[in-house]
Amino acid sequence: MSPEYVTGLGRQAVETILLVAAPMLLAGLGVGLLVSIFQAATQINEQTMTFIPKIVAVFVTLLIFAPWMIKILLSFTTSVLTRIATVGG
């Protein structure tokens, strides 16, 4: 394995991780922003009010995007295993 191969594989792994994590991170960010605006408008500073909606939003997003995420991860894994078999380890 050449250094370029390993670097390319690492880059592709990071891209895949960011692609798979993006929907959940964006959902948490959006809900957190909405809750912060609501808290600023009503002057309610309850700590659980920030965490519970984010957890629920991330969980719902995970349920919605799970098939797509599995497809992306399966494609990446298949690609890596195929390249390893082709290169010869």
Would you state the pLDDT for residue 35? Answer: 92
Burial status of residue 88 (CB atoms within 10 A of its CB: 0-12, 13-18, 19 or more): exposed
89 or 25, which is more confident: 25
Tell me the C-alpha to C-alpha distance, in Å, between residue 75 and each of 1, 11, 60, 80, 82.
21, 15, 23, 9, 10
Would you state the pLDDT for residue 87? Answer: 75
Which of 24-37 are b and which e, b meaning 16 or more Cβ less than 10 Å from the residue's Cβ?
beebbeebeeebee
Q: What pLDDT digit, counting tens, does each position of 37-85 carry?
A: 998 898 888 877 888 999 999 999 999 999 999 999 999 999 999 988 8
Contacts of 36 (CB under 8 A, 6+ apart): 50
